Each structure stands twice: as C-alpha cells, then as structure tokens.
Amino acid sequence: MTVIEQHANKASASAAAPTGDFDDAVNATVAYECENCGTNPLERFEVPRQTTLWKCTKCGLYQKGQPPTDRLYEDEYHDGYLRSLPRKIRTAQVRLGRAVKYLPEHCKSPSVLDVGCSIGATVSAAARRGWDAHGVDVSRSAVDSCRIRGLNCVHYGGDRLPFADKTFDILTSWHVIEHVENVSTVLDDWYRVLKPGGIMVLETPHANCWKARTQGAKYAKFWPAAHIYTFTPDTLEPFAARCGFEVLPNPWFAAPTSTGLATTTYALAYQAFLATSRATGFAKAFQLFARRPATDASERKQAA
C-alpha cells in the first residue's frame, strides 16, 4: 500500500471517528493525542476552502492534515521547475557544502540520497562533485525527467526506501517531511539507510515564521492542502531524536568548494540571506541537521 493509499484510508477513518468531525466548523477541538508530546485534545486550525489541520495547544505542532490525490504530484507539483533548474543546482551546491562540514574527514566522495528529488537539482549538484548521487520521488514524470538526463533516480511509493540498510553518507530532503503520513515511520526508515555517522539534512516550512505567526490562516499560500504537518524546530527535532538521530547545530557557512567564483559568490549571498532571515524570524522555512551516531544505542548496550 502506498502512502497516498494509506492517506485515503486514514481520511475515511477520521471522518467516521466519533471524537472529531472534520466537516463541522463548530467543532473546535478533537480528542486526538498530539503525535509529538501526547497532549489531548487538539485545536482545530482551518484555512477556508483549502485545508484543516489540528494544532497542539502545548507544543504547537500542526498535524493530521488531509492528503491530496496522487495526481497533484504528477501533473502540477513540478510544473515550471525545469526553467529554474540552473539556479536550483547552484542552491543545492551550497546546501551540500553545509552538510559536508559534518562528515568525517576521510569521507571525500560520499554517497548521497535525495528523498523527493523532483527534477534532480540536488542529485545533479552531487554528481557534479563526483559523488555517488541517487534520488527517489513519488512522481513518475519527475523521475523520468531525471533519468533522461542520466541521473540515478527511481520512483517509489512514498513508504519504505528501496535501498539496503547503511547505504548512504548523506540523506537530503527538501520540503518533503511535511507531506508524509507518519513522520516517525519515515524518519526511522531514513535512519535505516544512513551509514553510522551519516548526515541527514531536511528543510521544511517554519510554522513560527513572522507571516504565519501574525496572519495565521489568512496567509493561505503557506498552508497548502498537500501538507499533513507544519513544524517548528522545537516540534521536529524531538521526532528525530526519538528515532535515534543526534540533532546538530545549523552550520552558518558551507565548506569551501572548487566550483568557481560565480558559485562561491552565490554561496556567500545565499548564506548571508539565510542567516539574516533566520536571525530576524522572517525565514519561511528552517533546516534540520542530524547525524546517525557512529554506534547505535542497541550496540552501545550490547558493548556495555
């Protein structure tokens, strides 16, 4: 069963549940437990004619959104991306440079997996560095676009990644984690395919960015129907920690590259903008850096 099918089943079950009616605007709370902190009940957060999420009144996690159809990711989600591919590849180069700062010194040509690779900007950027670059996406059309250009990308159903345990040094995922049905299950699987000492880097919308905080549901484009969750660092980091990850500080600057003056200039400008928007609270998204420990907790117990 794919994630899309699981979403559909979940939506049907939710509609029948006696503890919450998703179509009743009067019902302001629902007796679900927060997936992060266990608080009950949750508060209804409705974006009219667009989506309904359920907000935890304690930790602030927005959760339990209703899923879109799978056609969204095939027909609309990647429209126009190819026109901006060169810029996206430059941005991906900077992002990868930030991840490199946490790799062991001996790892000079890491293996990389980009989950939700879309048209392959991150896979292209990694391949240009000479790395072993791979991507997966739920969109067959996006994967076909990547494969035509010679990239190692495969289609998958959105659930278990089609790779063996401990395969990759770096796993990246840009604006994907907010779309999944169960964040803990997904992070467990991403942990599985990382090598011990491997680095995970995610980016996702920031629920406490200035516009979302001050405008709420009126900032409609921030709350698309495709999002099942909306996180802050304080609500996403605990999920990663419970899955075994060591949460790392965001690096301020990327590791130096030999990709030329133009890319270096772009990297400095991009990171200056990122740092400024983060410091002022205007950043609409945030990044999470985390490491799979060199020795897992179960292995440490056995050793003791």
pLDDT tens figures, 9-46:
443 333 333 333 434 444 577 678 999 999 999 999 99
Domain boundary among 63, 87, 107: 63
Give yes or no for a contact between 20 and 14, defined as CB atoms under 8 angstroms apart: yes
Q: Residues of the chain with pLDDT > 70: what percent?
A: 80
> What residue numbers bound the domain in which 7 lies?
3-63
Any domain includes 111: yes
Asked if residue 7 has pLDDT above 60, the reply is: no
Any domain includes 272: yes
- Do 19 and 49 belong together in one domain? yes
Residue of 34, 14, 35, 33 lying closest to 23 (CA atoms): 14
- Do 21 and 165 belong together in one domain? no
pLDDT tens per residue, range 155-199: 999 889 999 999 999 999 999 999 999 999 999 999 999 999 999
Any domain includes 213: no
Domain boundary among 63, 89, 115: 63
The secondary element (H helix, E strand) that includes residue 200 is strand 194-205
Indicate the pLDDT class of residue 254, thresholds 50, 70 and 90: low
Asked if residue 5 has pLDDT above 80, the reply is: no
Any domain includes 136: yes
- Do 50 and 110 belong together in one domain? no
Domain boundary among 63, 79, 111: 63
Q: What is the CATH number of the domain that holds 119?
A: 3.40.50.150
Indicate the pLDDT class of residue 80, thresholds 50, 70 and 90: low
Any domain includes 273: yes
Any domain includes 282: yes
Give yes or no for a contact between 151 and 123, defined as CB atoms under 8 angstroms apart: yes
- Do 163 and 299 belong together in one domain? yes
Any domain includes 140: yes
- Do 95 and 77 belong together in one domain? yes
- Do 57 and 31 belong together in one domain? yes
Report the predicted TM-score, pTM, of the whole model to 2 decimal places.
0.84
Q: Which residues of 261-297 are buried (b: 16+ CB within 10 A; e: fewer)?
A: eebbebbeebbeebeebbeeeebebbbbbbbbeeeee
- Do 34 and 103 belong together in one domain? no
Lookup: tokens for 141: 């059309």
Any domain includes 211: no
Centre a 10 Å sphere on the Cβ of residue 184 and count the other Cβ atoms it contains.
14
- Greater confidence (49 vs 19) lies with 49
- Do 111 and 238 belong together in one domain? yes
Number of domains in the chain: 2
- Do 42 and 169 belong together in one domain? no
- Do 41 and 95 belong together in one domain? no
pLDDT tens per residue, range 261-300: 676 777 777 777 777 777 777 889 999 999 999 987 666 5
- Do 244 and 99 belong together in one domain? yes
- Do 247 and 195 belong together in one domain? yes
